[in-house]
Amino acid sequence: MSLLQVKGLVKYYGSRPVVNGVDFEVNAGEVVGLLGPNGAGKTTSFKMATGQVPPNQGTVWFNGTDVTALPMFQRARLGMGYLSQEKSVFRKLTVEQNILAILEMLPKSRSLGRALWRSERYERMEAAIQRFGLQKVRKNVGARLSGGETRRVEIARCLVCEPMLILFDEPFTGIDPITIAEIRQIVLELRNEGIGILLTDHNVHEALKITTRSYLIKDGKVRTHGTPAQIVRDPVAIAEYLGAGFSDNNYRSPDEHVRELVPLPPVPVAPLEFQAPAPKPAPAATTLDFPGASAKPSPAHAILEHEKIQRLIESLKTSDQVRAADELVKKGQAAVPALMNALERRDAELRQYAVEVLHAILQRPIPFDAFAPEASRKAQLAALREQFERKAG
C-alpha cells in the first residue's frame, strides 16, 4: 500500500476547474515530484494533498487512512510533515527554543505512544542540533540565521515530530547554490532512511536530480509520469513543459544519483531513535519562559493556544460539543480567525456550528448560510472578511 495515495482530485475556482481528476502516489523511501508550468494546477494539487485546500471531489489517503477532510494539524499527528516555501522559524526564539517549541506542542510521541518527558524533549532537541550541524548557531535567534541555517532548523523541527512523509513546497526557490546543495543532500538522506517525500518546485533541473519519480501536471491533469530519465525523454513532457532544448545528459537512474550525491555521513544519526547522550540540565536561557512573558505570550504559547482552538472546533461535532462551544465563546476574539477558517470546510454541519459560535462571540447575527451553494458561501465569506478587516483597520 502506498504511503500517500491521491485519487481523482478536482478543484473548482468559480466555474473553472483548475484541477480535474489528478491521481498520484508516494511510497516510503522515495522522492516524488509534482512538475508543471505556472497555472497548471500542480500547486493546488499539492495544497490539497497537504490539507491547505479542500478538494471539491476526490480523496487523499495517508498510510491507509482517509485524511481528505482532516485539517493539517491532525494529519501531522498521523505522521505527515509539511515544510512551506516561506520561512517558518520563530524569529525571536533561538535555534534551541525553536525546536523545543515544536516538541512542547506534541500531544504525544508517535514512537512512544505517550507525551514526552522534559528530559526526552531536550534529548531530541540535542540530537536534531547535532544531526543538522547547528551547534555553532544554537543560541542565535531565528532572525539572524542564513537561508541554509533557517532551512536546516525547519527540517529539524519537522523531523522531531517523527514524520513518515514530508511534503516540501518549493524547497529550491529563492536560495543560493550552496543552500540548494545542502537541501538536496538532506532530502536524499531522508529518502535513504525510508521517509517518503513529495515536493513541488519550479526548478525542474534540481527537482529531477533528486526525484525517484515525477508527475507532470498541465491544464489540471496529469499528462505523464515516470523516472527522471523517462521524463526528460518523454515527447509529451518535452512538448508541453521542458522544451526541445532541455538537456537530458544529467539524468540517469536514481541509484546512480544516490551514489554520486550522498556520501555516507561520518556519524549517522537515525531520526526516530534519538540516541544522543542526554545533555546536562539546560540553562535558563534555553527555556521558553522569558522575562515579561506574563504580559506578552511567547510565540510558542501562541502556537499552543491556536492548536487548542483548532481542537475545540473539531470537538463541535462530538459528544463534547457543549463544552467545546462554551470554551470557544470564552476565548472570544482569539477564536474568531479559526472559526472564520472553519466556514470554508467541506462539512456543512461543522460550518453551521462555527456560525453559531461566532454569533455567541460577536453577539450579533452573522450573514453566512452554511448550507448555501459554494459560490454563494464564498461571496458571503469574502464580505465577512472584508468587514472584519475594516473594523480591525
Give me the amino acid identity at 27: N
Cell numbers given for 142: 531565528
As a whole number, mean pLDDT of residues 75-80 equals 91
If you classify domain 4-261 with CATH, what class do you get? alpha beta
Give residues with Cβ within 8 angstroms of 228, minimum separation 6.
208, 209, 211, 214, 251, 252, 254
Q: What is the rounded distance in angstroms from the CA atom of residue 36 to the CA atom of residue 183?
A: 21
Contact (Cβ atoms closer than 8 angstroms) between residue 222 and residue 216: yes
Give the angle 71-350-345 at the CA atoms, nearest 5°: 45
- The pLDDT tens digits of the residues spanning 284-305 come to 443 333 333 344 455 556 667 7
pLDDT score, position 248: 63
- State the number of CA atoms in the 13 A half-sphere of 206 facing the CB: 22
Grid cell at residue 300: 510558542
User: Beta strand pairing status for 65-66 and 57-62?
Assistant: antiparallel
* Residue entry with cell 467545546: 324
Enumerate residues 6+ apart whose C-beta is below 8 A from 363. none
Smallest CA-to-CA distance from 159 within 178, 131, 137, 138 is with 131
> In the 8-state DSSP scheme, what is residue 171?
T
Query: Residue 153 in contact with residue 101, Cβ under 8 Å?
Result: no
Count the Cβ atoms, other than its own, within 10 Å of residue 241.
20
CB 189 within 8 A of CB 262: yes
pLDDT tens digits along 238-270: 988 888 777 665 665 444 444 343 333 433 333
Query: CB–CB of 85/175 below 8 Å?
Result: no
Residue pLDDT, tens place only, 82-131: 988 888 888 889 999 999 988 988 888 888 888 889 889 999 999 999 99
| 3-state helix, strand and coil shares in percent for the chain, rounded to the nearest 5 | 45, 15, 40
For 175-187, the pLDDT digits (tens) are: 778 888 888 888 9
- The mean per-residue pLDDT over the stretch 185-208 comes to 90
pLDDT of residue 363: 81
Find the range with the poorest average confidence among 34-43, 164-173, 278-287, 345-354.
278-287
With vertex at residue 246, the alpha carbon angle to CA 244 and CA 251, rounded to the nearest 5 degrees, is 135
Measured CA distances, 260 to 29, 119, 184, 254 (Å): 18, 39, 12, 10
**Contact residues for 343 (Cβ-Cβ < 8 A; gap 6+):** 351, 354, 355, 368, 370, 377, 381, 384
Kindly provide the residue ranges of all beta strands, DSSP E only, lying in 155-287, ordered along the sequence: 165-169, 196-200, 213-218, 221-226
**pLDDT digit string (tens) for 16-73?**
889 999 999 999 999 999 998 888 888 899 999 999 889 999 999 999 999 999 988 8
Q: From 247, 203, 245, 241, select the one nearest 229 (Cα to Cα).
A: 247
User: How far does the chain reach from its first CA to its final CA, in angstroms?
Assistant: 50
pLDDT value of position 252: 55
Provide the grid cell at 294. Answer: 506574563
pTM comes to: 0.65
- Rounded to an integer, the average pLDDT of 348-374 is 85
Domain limits of the chain?
4-261, 299-392
Q: Is the pLDDT confidence value at 81 over 70?
A: yes
- The Cα–Cα gap between 276 and 129 comes to 10
pLDDT at residue 250 in the model? 60
Note whether 190 and 166 are within 8 A (CB): yes
Q: Strand locations in the chain, DSSP E?
A: 4-13, 16-26, 31-35, 57-62, 65-66, 80-83, 165-169, 196-200, 213-218, 221-226
Other residues' Cβ atoms within 10 Å of the Cβ of residue 157: 23
Question: Residue with C-alpha cell 469574502?
Answer: 382
Q: What is the reported pLDDT for 247? A: 66
